[in-house]
A = this chain, B = another copy of it.
Amino acid sequence: MNKPFPDAVTVREVGLRDGLQSVARTLPTELKLLWLRAAHAAGLREIEVSSFVPARLLPQLADTAALVAQARQLPGLVTSVLVPNLKGAQAALDSGADLMLLPLSASHAHSLANLRKTPDEVVAEIARIRALRDASSSRCLIEVGMSTAFGCTIQGRVEEAEVLRLLQAALDAGADRVGLADTVGYADPLQVGRLFRQAFELVGDRLACGHFHDTRGLGLANVFAAWQAGVRRFDATNGGIGGCPHAPGASGNVATEDVAYLFASMGVATGLDFDALMALRRNVAQWLEGETLHGAIWRAGLPKTLTMRNAA
A273 CB to closest chain B CB (Å) equals 18
- C-alpha spacing A225/B156, complex, angstroms: 27
Q: Is the interface of A mostly helix, strand, loop or mixed?
A: loop
Q: Is A235 close to B, CB under 8 A?
A: no
Oligomer: number of copies: 2
Q: Is A189 close to B, CB under 8 A?
A: yes
Given A189-B224, A225-B224, check contact A249 B216 (CB 8 Å). no
CB atoms of B153 and A304 under 8 A apart: yes
Q: Determine the chain B residues whose CB is within 8 A of the CB of A10 once the complex forms.
A: none
What per-residue 1/0 map shows which CB atoms of A210-221 lie under 8 Å from chain B? 000011111011
Q: Determine the chain B residues whose CB is within 8 A of the CB of A296 once the complex forms.
A: 214, 216-218
Q: Which of A153, A224, A258 has the most CB of B within 10 A?
A: A224
Q: Is A301 close to B, CB under 8 A?
A: yes
Q: Is A2 close to B, CB under 8 A?
A: no
CB-CB nearest 8 A-B residue pairs: A217-B296, A188-B265, A221-B221, A190-B266, A186-B303, A221-B224, A220-B221, A215-B300
Apart from A216-B297, A217-B296, A220-B220, list 20 A-B contacts with CB within 8 A. A151-B303, A151-B305, A156-B305, A188-B262, A188-B266, A189-B224, A190-B266, A191-B265, A214-B296, A215-B299, A216-B296, A216-B303, A217-B258, A217-B261, A218-B220, A220-B221, A221-B221, A221-B223, A221-B224, A221-B262
